[in-house]
Structures are given as structure tokens and as C-alpha cells.
Structure 1
Amino acid sequence: MLNIRQARIEDICVLKKLQFQLTEYHKANLPDDFLSPEEIEQKIDLHKIIESESSIFLVAESNGHLVGFVFGELWVRKSWTLKQRKIASIEQIVVDSCFRSQGVGLALIEAFEERAISNGGEELFLEVYSFNESALGLYRKAGIAPKILIGQKALS
């Protein structure tokens, strides 16, 4: 049975292992863009993210084992041209490779949305690399449609 709950400090060791899976996947596809797992560990303060008032950090448990997580934050979009809205931004979603295609990712997104709405969120925002076909499929299932295209070019 799948259970979605708030992340806790004692989850950090397993969260780092899940993060490593995602980092390896990204580095395999864009080796020049992504930091090593060790560099990421030095930059990301999971304690701070878990305890932050503006963060939403949820984990998925299956039979008492962590099998995925999603984290993001709420922020107010302020723009010269766009309407001001409270945005719920997914920064990262990871599902253990052994549990993919079993509804874990969708359950995490739905729980993230519920938490965001209960905290005044009006719109969901996330970024995904174009090579990540499995994530693109998950987001389509969750009703998340492409709205903004971001280009990238190396300047030499």
C-alpha cells in the first residue's frame, strides 16, 4: 500500500539515495550540465528544505520503505506583464527505479497539488528536460501541459 506523507529529517539518508538515481540519469543525458552527486549534496541543504515554511516536501512509502519524493515551493509571481499568482513550483520529483510505472509519481503530484491548494497555490509550475520521456508522460497523465518553451545554447 502506498502512503504519501510529509518528509522528515530522519528520511534524509534515503532521500539522498533517491536523489543519486536522478542525478545519474541526468548526467548520462547531459554530462556537461549536471553536478556530481557529491557536489549536489554539498549545495542542497535538505534539512532546511524540509523545515522551510514555503516548501512542500512529500515522500511516498510502500510497505514502510521510501520509494519516491517530490519537493517544491510556493512563491508569488510578480511580473510586469503577467497576472500576479501564487505559484506552486515542483523543483524535483524522484521515484525509485524499482517502483516506476506503478502510480507513485502520479500520487506524489496529486498530493503536492492538494498541499499547494490548501496553502493558497493557484498554479502549478515545473521544468523538465526534453530527453526525459518518462517524466513528460507522467506530467501528461497528471494534466500538466507544456506552456513555456525554454531554449538553451552554449556560448563560446
Structure 2
Amino acid sequence: MSEVSPHLRPAERGDVPALVRLRLANAERHVQLDPDVFRVPDAAAVQRHFEEVVGSALISVAEVAGEVVGMAEVVLLPPPPDHQILVPRRGADVHTVVLDGFRGQGVGAALVQEAEKVAAAHGASVVFAGIFATNEDAVGFYSASGFGPREILLSKSCG
């Protein structure tokens, strides 16, 4: 596939329907990976969420030919408290979504670069991409964007 040059900009109120479409498409893709871990959220709940946060959240959108085809959301994390042993650095989670027809064309890479700039502009010195090991495509995508292992997160179901 050839590269496209998306227009990147902060998300606006008028983008809410596109953000909902992106979140739901991403959810459907993840449910196919592992329905025991992922779900498709209620569309009305997703719409309410984006209507509440779109003005204050750190969400960038990618447009191709006037259509929103991807988004990156930066979620700032608090620095570790003084009593912990980690060096206090502001971090941010980055969540990227690109519609299937636009994957592999540079849209996601452009969104990740934009998310890094947004995170840095808000005081973050490190960005995280939390990926469940079952999502090999996401691991490959973020690895190609320069992300690498930082820690191991172990989990166990309770009960």
C-alpha cells in the first residue's frame, strides 16, 4: 500500500460521531482477538464519553480527503508519589485507532508522532502503549514506531 499524507488536528465537537465510529470499530477488532478480554461498549455510552471530554481531552484526529480515519488519545498519568522508588517522570498512555481501509498507509505512524508531541507539550517525558500480548499487530505497529519493552505487568484473576 502507498503512503497517504493525513491532515492531523485536535479533535473538535463535530468529530464526536467519527470518534464513536473509531472506538466501536476498534472494539469489534479487539473482540475478534479475544472475546474473554474485550467487549464492544454501548454506542450511547461511548458518545456520552466523547461529548464530555472532546474539548478538554488530548485527542488528535487524522483526516484523509476530509474524512476522519484515525485518532490518537493521550492520557496523562500522574508522576509516582514521593514514597515510591521510581524516578518521578510524567508519563502518558497513548491509544491509537485507524480504520481498516487506511491501515498500513502511514496514518497510524503520523498519529503516534503527533501524540508524542502532544504528550511532551503537556509535560510527559515517556509514552506508554499498553497492549495485550494477544494483539501481535499492535505490538508490531508500536515497535515499528520506536516503542520497546519497559516493564512486565503481571495479572491474576481474583476469585
What's the TM-score bracket when you normalise by the shorter of the two chains? 0.7 to 0.9
Q: Do 1:86 and 1:123's aligned partners in 2 also have CA atoms closer than 8 Å?
A: yes
Which moves more between the two structures, 62-71 or 14-23?
14-23
Q: Do 2:34 and 2:134's aligned partners in 1 also have CA atoms closer than 8 Å?
A: no
Aligned pairs, how many?
152
**Structure showing the higher strand proportion among its residues:** 1
Residue in structure 2 matching 1:68, options 67, 70, 78: 70
Q: Structure 2 regions of 5+ residues with no counterpart?
A: none
Q: Do 1:95 and 1:104's aligned partners in 2 also have CA atoms closer than 8 Å?
A: yes
Q: Do 2:13 and 2:51's aligned partners in 1 also have CA atoms closer than 8 Å?
A: yes
Higher relative contact order (CA 8 A, sep 6+): 2
Amino acid at match of 1:34: F
**1: distance between equivalents of 2:106 and 2:16?**
23
Aligned-residue sequence identity (percent) comes to 29
Q: Do 2:6 and 2:63's aligned partners in 1 also have CA atoms closer than 8 Å?
A: yes
Question: 1:85-109: CA deviations, max 9, x gaps?
Answer: 111221x211000000011111000
2:96 equivalent to 1:101: no
Aligned to 1:13: 17
Aligned to 1:56: 58
Which moves more between the two structures, 16-25 or 101-110?
16-25
Following superposition of structure 1 onto structure 2, how do residues 124-143 of structure 1 map, counting pairs within 5 Å? 124-143=127-146
2:132 equivalent to 1:123: no
Normalising by structure 1, we get a TM-score of: 0.88
Aligned to 1:33: 37
SS of residue matched to 2:147: coil
**2: distance between equivalents of 1:11 and 1:76?**
28
